[in-house]
Each structure stands twice: as structure tokens, then as C-alpha cells.
């Protein structure tokens, strides 16, 4: 049955609404006349044809009235969903812009922090410990401690050799694990 429904309902698309209302009203009036007003002589003469035709009209009218009501509901819901989709897509786009900017900001802060640490240690290694601690606002105790640490670092930089085996193992740990996807 279902596949045939749309075949009949396509009529809704070209029949003006008032025609459907007229069919329905004619069906209702005809049914009342055929079944209730049978005592009137003129009607009683054509009682059966009136009953048959009005029932057909009433049925068709009811059918299409139902279709009209359903179509109106369908259209309203469709419009609501369309508006909702447009709103959601706009919100999703705005969110992407916001997240992209926030991520870029965090990325920049992370890179900046790494650069600063490298620059600081580079300065400790290459500079004069006494001069460096003079430029930093510290208590005497803290200054003495930092100077000692810098001297220790400079000594390690000059004297400590890095074993090649250690480099190999560090690099092995930094390698992308087997099976891990390459970006």
C-alpha cells in the first residue's frame, strides 16, 4: 500500500488548497443530506447516488485534508531543521576559529619557553659566571649558589665527553616506534 500513497499525494502539489477544502465540505454536506435529510422528497429521490457520491467526496476530501495537514507539519519541521543546521554549522565554524587561535597561542608559548631555556643555558655556558650573576636580581646567598652552579656546568661542558653508546640509546628512544603511523 505504502508505495501508492505518494502517487496519490502528488496531487497535493498542483491542486489548490481551496479545491481540497471544497471537496471535503461537499462530501460532508452530501453525506448529511444523503443520510440525515432523506425525508425531504427531492433528496429521497436521489438518495442512493447522493450517498455514494458524497461518501466518495468525503473520503477523498478527508484523505487530502490529512495530506495537507501532514504536509504543513512536514514543511514547518523542515524549515525548523534547516534553520537549526545553519545555526549549528555557523557555531561549529566559529568554534574552529576560536580553537585554532587558542592552539596556535599555546604552541607559540611552548616554543618560546623552550627557546628561552636553551638561550639561558647557552649564556651560562659561554658567559662569565661572575658577570652573569651580577646581572640577575638575587640575594647574596642565591647569587653564590648560582655562580657555583654555572662554574660546575662550564666545567662539565669542557671536560665531559658524551659516550657514543649513550647517544645511540637516546636516539633509539627518540625514534618513532615500529608500527606507529608517520604523520
Partner 1 sequence: MKLASIVILTFLLSGCSMMPKLTSAKPKFPEPFTDQKTQEMPKCEDLKMVPADTNNLSSVFKIIVENYTLYWKCSNQVDGWKEWYEEQKKIYDSK
CB 16 within 8 A of CB 67: no
Integer Cα distance of 138 and 41 in angstroms: 119
Number of residues that bind partner 1 (CB under 8 A): 67
Integer Cα distance of 134 and 146 in angstroms: 11
- Using CB under 8 A as the binding rule, whether residue 92 contacts partner 1 is answered as yes
* Residue 123 DSSP code: H
Among 16, 176, 177, 178, binds partner 1 (CB under 8 A): 176
Nearer to partner 1, 136 or 176 (CB): 176
Integer Cα distance of 130 and 98 in angstroms: 47
Minimum CB separation of residue 136 from partner 1 in Å reads 20
The 10 Å CB-count burial string (b at 16+, else e) for 68-83 is beeeeeeeeeeeeeee
Cell numbers given for 56: 466518495
Stretch that binds partner 1, among 16-24, 63-71, 127-135, 136-144 (CB under 8 A): 63-71
**Would you tell me which residues interact with partner 1 (CB under 8 A)?**
1-2, 5-6, 8-9, 51, 55, 58-60, 62-63, 66-67, 69-71, 73-74, 77-78, 81-82, 84-85, 88-89, 91-93, 95-97, 99-104, 106-107, 110-111, 113-114, 117-118, 121-122, 125, 153, 156-157, 160-162, 164, 167-168, 170-171, 174-176, 182-183
Amino acid at each position: 500500500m505504502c508505495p501508492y500513497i505518494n502517487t496519490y499525494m502528488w496531487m497535493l502539489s498542483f491542486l489548490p488548497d481551496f479545491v481540497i477544502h471544497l471537496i471535503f465540505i461537499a462530501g460532508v454536506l452530501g453525506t448529511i443530506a444523503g443520510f440525515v435529510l432523506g425525508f425531504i422528497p427531492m433528496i429521497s429521490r436521489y438518495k442512493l447516488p447522493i450517498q455514494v457520491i458524497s461518501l466518495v467526496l468525503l473520503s477523498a476530501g478527508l484523505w487530502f485534508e490529512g495530506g495537507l495537514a501532514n504536509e504543513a507539519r512536514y514543511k514547518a519541521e523542515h524549515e525548523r531543521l534547516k534553520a537549526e543546521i545553519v545555526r549549528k554549522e555557523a557555531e561549529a565554524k566559529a568554534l574552529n576559529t576560536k580553537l585554532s587561535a587558542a592552539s596556535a597561542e599555546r604552541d607559540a608559548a611552548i616554543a618560546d619557553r623552550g627557546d628561552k631555556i636553551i638561550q639561558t643555558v647557552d649564556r651560562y655556558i659561554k658567559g662569565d659566571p661572575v658577570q652573569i650573576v651580577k646581572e640577575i636580581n638575587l640575594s647574596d646567598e642565591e647569587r653564590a649558589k648560582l655562580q657555583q652552579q654555572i662554574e660546575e656546568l662550564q666545567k662539565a661542558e669542557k671536560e665531559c665527553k658524551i659516550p657514543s653508546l649513550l647517544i645511540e640509546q637516546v636516539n633509539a628512544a627518540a625514534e618513532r616506534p615500529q608500527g606507529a603511523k608517520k604523520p
